[in-house]
Amino acid sequence: MDAKTASSFLNEPPRTQMLNRLWEFQRAKHYISDADITTLAKDYDISEIEVEGIVSFYHFFHRKHAGKFTIYLNNSMTSQMKGFNRILEAFERETAAKVGSTDPTGTFGLFLTPCIGLSDQEPAALINFYPFTNLNTLKVREIITKLKKGVPIEEICDHPKENIHYTTDKQPGIFFSDFKSGSAISKLVALQKVGVINKLKNTRLSGRGGAFYPTWMKWQAAADEETTPKVVVCNADEGEPGTFKDRVLMQKVPETVIEGMIACAYAIGASFGLIYLRSEYTWLHDKVEKALQKYRDKGLLGNSCGGITNFNFDIRLQLGAGSYVCGEETALLESAEGKRGEPRTRWFYPVQKGYLNLPTVVNNVETFCAATRIIQYGEDHFRSYGIEKSPGTKIISVSGDCKYPGIYEIEWGMTLGDLLDKCGAEEPYYIQESGPSGTVLTVDEADTPFAMFAEFFTQHIRCGGALTIFNKNRDILDILLNYADFYKQESCGICTPCRAGNYFIERKLERIKNGLASDDDIEELNQWSLIMRHTSRCGLGKTATNSLINTLEKFSDYFESIIQQDKSALNVGFDMEAAIRDYEEFKN
């Protein structure tokens, strides 16, 4: 590891090592002790409660022993569809650990975690952060038996497949074609800063983290800032359930991520870069680190980066610690600074005051990869894909009820129906794009194209990178409850509508699930969802009810079939038997 090399490019306060230090403790002892807390508080001259606050924010940090082998089974929807319950039982049986704790000997700890970026290979789990995919009960038994026998975990873990099924009809596509290190960097000087930014402008590249903010505007704003040093951050937190495109990009072409960051650094005048990698992808850490080292060895990172005089830039890799909201750019910055991952207000933007209050560009993995390719191939090549207002291609992670789950690089303009055909969708019924925070689609929308902006069509799908397909046998309420639980737990908890709102939503959905709801409940669900959308502080709370609002509208028949119809009913749904069950049990 060469974090020191990178850190010499920016004087980061010691506190920024907080997460790394916590990881050391967690890995060594499988928990973080009181003494560790005291040590860190002393080292960083902060109060112990502050350290505790950080530890308790991230769900991969434990204050109690989490087992010599810590198992995290994914409980996202795609896992549920592929037999989560059986796998959980199998783990409990084989390890003798109950979910949420360790077995009596402390060998195995069994915990649940949301999407781990392997939706095309579910059910999947991480054991000591090594991936295990396509689990079945036999496989679980085999894994646990081997671990008990002392077989090294790296020998038995899986090596997740890339599953790239489609890279446009034209060849070679944009993202996955061969790439020679340095081929974008070598073009920078000729382009100059303004040329780099212009290329992004001309290709209308916009943020692939889901918000589609024009990338050139962000880079330009950072370039215009006078404060130095400046920082480039790559958001590799990929937490949106069902999304795994960034994972595959880092598996297949990590060089294009690095080179995109270098191009950005060149354009804005940054000297320090940071890749914030979600800890679910710890197994990718060494691969990316090796790629970085290769760049340093070749003189493509470091002093006079790429042989460009006065261009000194290096990149540090930072692991997260289990928190979806840390994908939100300002929460990510807080987390990278060694704090709780609480999103900031909009009082300042990251390009003004970002990492350590320095001007900072935060972009998604795919955005950087695209920037690299635009510089490598030129803008005409990029524009020869896609449609007028949405040039280029988009990588979509497809999973759920289909024959070929995996990665699809589509040209903007392709219709939903085409993609469903390509992936062998099996009786698609409820189609989730961009994960739970995106929109819900039905087969009636098969003719709708994927696009960033409206064009000759009226409706379009602005897909951030995931398409999760559910067939008719899947229970819509189970999906919605899974989402609500996810948001309830992943909310950072500092603003009222999201912290409390997701809780209320879950309660209401449970009421519907128990057959007690009336149309008033449905109406309230809709209103509360809108309140959350309009008043939440960050994108998490604002989008947490997107799917719900969509579903209530597009699947109104479904809700009508399961709620009480009598509008004039004076009694409210109430389950007396359930309410006196405790009492009956107690008296016996």
Ligand X SMILES: Cc1cc2nc3c(=O)[nH]c(=O)nc-3n(C[C@H](O)[C@H](O)[C@H](O)COP(=O)(O)O)c2cc1C
What is the contact surface with another protein in residues (CB under 8 A)?
45-50, 52-53, 56-57, 323, 325, 340, 342, 345-348, 488-497, 499-504, 507-508, 524, 528, 531, 534-537, 569-572, 574, 576, 578-584, 586-587
229: contact with ligand SF4 by CB under 6 A: no
In the bound complex, what is the minimum distance in angstroms from residue 171's beta carbon to another protein? 43
Listed in sequence order, the DSSP H helices in 46-187 are 48-57, 77-81, 84-95, 137-149, 153-156
Question: Binding-site residue total for ligand X (CB under 6 A)?
Answer: 22
Residue bearing tokens 């009820």: 401
Tell me which stretch binds ligand SF4 (CB under 6 A): 219-227, 400-408, 462-470, 538-546. 538-546
In the bound complex, what is the minimum distance in angstroms from residue 289's beta carbon to ligand SF4? 30
State which residue, 441 or 538, has the beta carbon closest to ligand SF4.
538
DSSP annotation string for 187-238: GHHHHHHHHHHHHHHHTT-B-TTTT--BHHHHHHHHHH---SS-EEEEEE--
Structure-token pair, residue 524? 């309230």
Omega before 172 within 30 of 0, i.e. cis: yes
Listed in sequence order, the DSSP H helices in 269-410 are 282-297, 329-336, 365-377, 379-383
Strand pairing category for 360-364 and 439-441: unpaired
Calpha distance 241→464 (Å, rounded): 12
State which residue, 75 or 163, has the beta carbon closest to another protein.
75
Of these, 210, 392, 438, 501, which contacts ligand X (CB under 6 A)? Answer: 210
77: Cβ contacts below 8 Å, ≥ 6 apart: 241, 242, 400, 432, 468, 470, 479, 482, 483
327: contact with ligand X by CB under 6 A: yes
Q: How many CB atoms lie within 10 A of CB 499?
A: 16
315: contact with ligand X by CB under 6 A: no
- Measured from each CB, the residue nearest to ligand SF4 is 541
Of these, 77, 197, 440, 540, which contacts ligand X (CB under 6 A)? Answer: 540
Please list every residue from 211 through 240 that binds ligand X, using CB under 6 A: 211, 213, 235, 237-240
In the bound complex, what is the minimum distance in angstroms from residue 205's beta carbon to ligand X? 9
208: contact with ligand X by CB under 6 A: yes
Calpha distance 485→198 (Å, rounded): 43
325: contact with ligand SF4 by CB under 6 A: yes
State which residue, 181 or 535, has the beta carbon closest to another protein.
535
Calpha distance 52→325 (Å, rounded): 19
Q: How many CB atoms lie within 10 A of CB 561?
A: 9
Structure-token pair, residue 575? 């389950």
In the bound complex, what is the minimum distance in angstroms from residue 330's beta carbon to ligand X? 7
Using CB distances below 5 to 8 A depending on partner kind, what does residue 237 bind out of another protein, ligand X, ligand SF4, none?
ligand X
Of these, 36, 120, 329, 521, which contacts ligand X (CB under 6 A)? Answer: 329
260: contact with ligand X by CB under 6 A: no
Q: CA separation (Å) from 3 to 288, 304, 327, 379? A: 13, 18, 22, 34
DSSP annotation string for 243-268: --HHHHHHHH-HHHHHHHHHHHHHHH
Calpha distance 260→313 (Å, rounded): 13
Using CB distances below 5 to 8 A depending on partner kind, what does residue 347 bind out of another protein, ligand SF4, ligand X, none?
another protein
538: contact with ligand SF4 by CB under 6 A: yes
211: contact with ligand SF4 by CB under 6 A: no
Do residues 268 and 219 lie in contact, with contact meaning Cβ atoms separated by under 8 Å?
A: yes
Q: Which x/- pattern, by CB under 6 A, does the window 481-500 give for ligand SF4? A: ----------xxxxx--xx-
Using CB distances below 5 to 8 A depending on partner kind, what does residue 329 bind out of another protein, ligand X, ligand SF4, none?
ligand X
State which residue, 176 or 504, has the beta carbon closest to another protein.
504
List residues near ligand X by CB under 6 A. Answer: 207-211, 213, 235, 237-240, 325, 327-329, 362-364, 367, 538-540
List residues near ligand SF4 by CB under 6 A. Answer: 325, 343, 491-495, 498-499, 536-538, 540-541
